[in-house]
Amino acid sequence: RIDENTNGATLSTVYRNFQKHFYKRNSTNISKLVSYFGKSFELIQFLDSVSASDIDNLREAVNDSDDTLMNTKATLDLVILKTFLVNIHSEIEKNKKDSLPNITLNQLIDCFESATKSDQNKSIFECFDTCCLLLSSIKQIHSSLTQRSLTKTKQISSIMQNTSFKFLHVGQQRNTKMIGCNYHYDVTISLNEHSDLRDRARLVEYFNTIQTQNNTNQSISVIHSFVSFVDTIENTIKQLTQLNMTGYPSMETSLELNKTFTCINMDFDELISFETKLGKLLADWEDQLCKLYKEHIELTYFKYQQVWSIEQHLLNRTRVSDNAYHLLKYIGIQPELIPNDIILDVKEDPINRIKNIGKILSALMCTQRVINEHEYQGNNRVLVVKTSEEGVMRAILSLFKIGGVKAQINQMFSCTEKTTWMELKAFAYRCCYSKKFHLLIRPELLPISIQDKFIELLLQIIKLDSDRRFQFGVITTTDEKNQSLINSLRTVELLHPIYDYQMLNKHDLKKETEKFIGKNCFLVTSGMAGLGKSTLIRDRIDKSGKQYLKFPISGHIDLETLTGRLHHYTNQSLSASNLAIHIDIGIILDIIFATD
């Protein structure tokens, strides 16, 4: 027995005997492992004090950060070590259940032997070496994560105790609804910050614990309530955005957007009631719109608040430079010919207001009927062209030629990644209920969910209105096999492919293009940059004796801004009749339509 009275010689002898018998009795790995446990006591103590979820959080933090304190391999080694220690503890607890609470040294060694049998642990000693060297960095990052977690948890608790907020309509472009939430201690938090906190709260819910000093049912209840709170806010904003996109009028006043909502001691029933009210309002509004689309197809061309600018124009005859004037011309109505005795009551409910606008527009279209109607009496079909980016114009003119009508800009719908389901729904009603031939361009850019909804709507229209006949065109620039919309059209036997030999040849394409250019325009194109197109155009304008104005168009295009720029440039000219505009068209990334 060794105690404080044992002399050095005896201690040395006992140590040599222990070393001799221990190494003979146990494997090399166990001996080496005992040595590493002795050298890595601080590391093992740290790993025992943290949970597996803490290690996962630390690994995610290192992966998402450019910090050089740790690398990804070190975090993986840390995970291996933590798993190894958990396995050892499991083996020890298993032995305690099978035998006496105090296990023997041999049983303890057997636990270590069992844990080291895993293939993952064959490099366990390398993991010890890596993590021991980086232990200070590991502790620093863990401490930072813990403090942030505590801060977020405190922030969540404060929000649920006493918060006031309101919904704000910011800007005129799509998806710009924002939410501001003001705490009782006068701090403003954005919706994105709310969502980040909500994601953190969901993680806490998942692990059924909160990393604070008080892990109580009350704190779990706060977290659960906060997740529901932010979900309700996001759903409310989604509904408000959808109402705005579909043209619900005077949202700030009719929906009480200036109203202040509160969350006091996890009670936000008023917000829940508002969300429920919006959901019912949105469903009723969209249902009424679809009914009106069948009767007054002119309404399908408008989105956001455009239809109400039309109402103002019909009442007040706004200026030629206003959007409403050009929207009317876009759908084929000449604003100058609109009678002056039109009466509209802006105090009526929104459904009756938009119904009256629809009646007036339909009547105006009847009196100003254009000759581009498309009376199709054959089987329902969709003409599909597969082409390249450069071949889109040829495909457009070819399909209109096959349809037997003149190409019109308001009969083409070009998809983008931001195209909404309501926009495509309106296009579907135009195709089926107007007497015109329409084109859908690049539907491959649409989300799969919207493509599927489009097919469902077509089938619904066919089923409910079996006597109605429709024909429209689709132009795609990617492989049809990977497109849900094209494949579905083929499945329901609506697809009618148009092949290259059926399209305009080079000579006919040139003739069709010249019809649209007219006498006062000329088109200069080339497949390469730097060949002198701009110089050629400038020289030709100079020779004509007109004032030269270059107007570049490229990138993301906001049509309202674009028309404003053009109006500004032309106003600077001394004489519009003496002006020649060089429209320099570059790469167009996206087109954003005006929201008013």
| Domain annotation covers residue 291 | no
What is the C-alpha separation between 68 and 470, in angstroms, rounded? 63
pLDDT of residue 185: 35
Same domain, 417 and 478: yes
**Mean pLDDT of all residues in 491-512:** 92
The yes-or-no verdict on residue 331 having pLDDT over 80 is yes
The token duo for 59 is 């690994």
pLDDT of residue 594: 42
Q: Greatest CA span in the chain, whole angstroms?
A: 121
Q: Higher model confidence: residue 151 or residue 176?
A: 151
Buried residues in 353-388 as b, exposed as e (16+ CB within 10 A): bbbbbbebbeebbeeeeeebebebeeebbbbbbbbe
Count other C-beta atoms under 10 Å from residue 403's C-beta.
Answer: 20
Q: Crossing angle of helices 448-464/484-491, nearest 10°?
A: 30
What is the C-alpha separation between 589 and 553, in angstroms, rounded? 11
Q: What is the DSSP letter of 562?
A: H
Same domain, 26 and 127: yes
The token duo for 411 is 């009969």
Same domain, 102 and 45: yes
Q: What residues does 430 pair with on adjacent strands?
A: none
pLDDT of residue 196: 67
Which range in 146-160, 424-438, 508-522, 578-592 is most confidently predicted, on average pLDDT? 424-438
Same domain, 523 and 561: yes
**Residues 409/330, Cβ–Cβ less than 8 Å:** yes
Domain end call among 508, 536, 557: 508
φ, ψ (nearest 5 deg) of residue 305: -100, 20
The yes-or-no verdict on residue 119 having pLDDT over 60 is no
pLDDT tens column, 468-488: 889 999 999 988 777 899 999
Binned at pLDDT 50, 70 and 90, residue 399 comes out as: very high
pLDDT of residue 374: 64
pLDDT of residue 203: 55
Same domain, 559 and 478: no
Same domain, 223 and 304: no
Binned at pLDDT 50, 70 and 90, residue 575 comes out as: low
Q: From residue 464, how far is each of 297, 381, 436, 459, 461 by CA, in Å?
A: 18, 17, 21, 9, 5
| Domain annotation covers residue 467 | yes
pLDDT tens column, 176-208: 344 444 433 344 555 666 666 666 666 555 444
pLDDT of residue 190: 58
The yes-or-no verdict on residue 441 having pLDDT over 90 is yes
Mean pLDDT of the chain: 79
CB-based burial label for 508 (10 Å; 0-12, 13-18, 19+): middle
pLDDT of residue 382: 93
Binned at pLDDT 50, 70 and 90, residue 400 comes out as: very high
Q: Crossing angle of helices 41-49/72-98, nearest 10°?
A: 80
SS3 of 96-116? HHHCCCCCCHHHHHHHHHHHC
**Residues 240/255, Cβ–Cβ less than 8 Å:** yes
The yes-or-no verdict on residue 84 having pLDDT over 80 is yes
**Mean pLDDT of all residues in 303-325:** 80
What is the C-alpha separation between 150 and 148, in angstroms, rounded? 5
The yes-or-no verdict on residue 342 having pLDDT over 70 is yes
What is the C-alpha separation between 406 and 437, in angstroms, rounded? 9
Same domain, 449 and 497: yes
Strands of 184-243, DSSP E:
188-189
Q: Higher model confidence: residue 370 or residue 326?
A: 326
What is the C-alpha separation between 312 and 315, in angstroms, rounded? 5
pLDDT of residue 108: 76
CA angle 307/310/312 to nearest 5° reads: 115
Binned at pLDDT 50, 70 and 90, residue 66 comes out as: low
Residue 380 identity (one-letter amino acid): N
Q: Higher model confidence: residue 69 or residue 303?
A: 303
pLDDT tens column, 534-560: 889 898 888 888 888 888 887 766 666
Same domain, 251 and 337: no
What is the C-alpha separation between 437 and 419, in angstroms, rounded? 21
**Mean pLDDT of all residues in 7-19:** 81
End-to-end Cα distance, the chain: 93
What is the C-alpha separation between 422 and 420, in angstroms, rounded? 5
Total domains in the fold of the chain = 5
Q: What is the DSSP letter of 119?
A: G
Q: What residues does 142 pair with on adjacent strands?
A: none
| Domain annotation covers residue 1 | no
How would you classify residue 31: left for phi > 0, otherwise alpha for psi between -120 and 50, otherwise beta? alpha
Binned at pLDDT 50, 70 and 90, residue 370 comes out as: low
φ, ψ (nearest 5 deg) of residue 381: -155, 155
The token duo for 219 is 């704190």
| Domain annotation covers residue 420 | yes
Same domain, 401 and 489: yes
Same domain, 258 and 331: no
**Mean pLDDT of all residues in 338-365:** 88
Count of residues making up the chain: 596
Q: From residue 448, how far is each of 414, 443, 483, 486, 590 by CA, in Å?
A: 16, 10, 8, 11, 19
pLDDT tens column, 216-260: 566 678 878 888 888 898 888 889 888 888 888 877 666 777 788
Same domain, 503 and 522: no
Domain end call among 334, 367, 400: 367
Q: From residue 108, how far is each of 26, 33, 102, 293, 575 by CA, in Å?
A: 12, 13, 10, 79, 98
What is the C-alpha separation between 282 and 280, in angstroms, rounded? 5
Alpha helices in 526-595 (DSSP H): 533-544, 559-572
Residue 571 identity (one-letter amino acid): N
Q: Higher model confidence: residue 327 or residue 96?
A: 327
| Domain annotation covers residue 139 | no
Domain span holding position 127: 8-133
| Domain annotation covers residue 513 | no
By percentage, how much of the chain surpasses pLDDT 70? 78
Domain end call among 261, 285, 309: 285
- Provide the pairing of β-strand 579-592 with 547-558: parallel
Same domain, 499 and 530: no
Residues whose CB is less than 8 angstroms from the CB of residue 413 and which lie 6 or more positions away in sequence, other chains included: 423, 424, 427, 438, 439, 440, 441
| Domain annotation covers residue 3 | no
| Domain annotation covers residue 330 | yes
**Mean pLDDT of all residues in 76-86:** 83
Residues whose CB is less than 8 angstroms from the CB of residue 160 and which lie 6 or more positions away in sequence, other chains included: 222, 225, 226, 229, 263, 265, 266
Least confident of 35-39, 67-71, 344-348, 354-358: 67-71
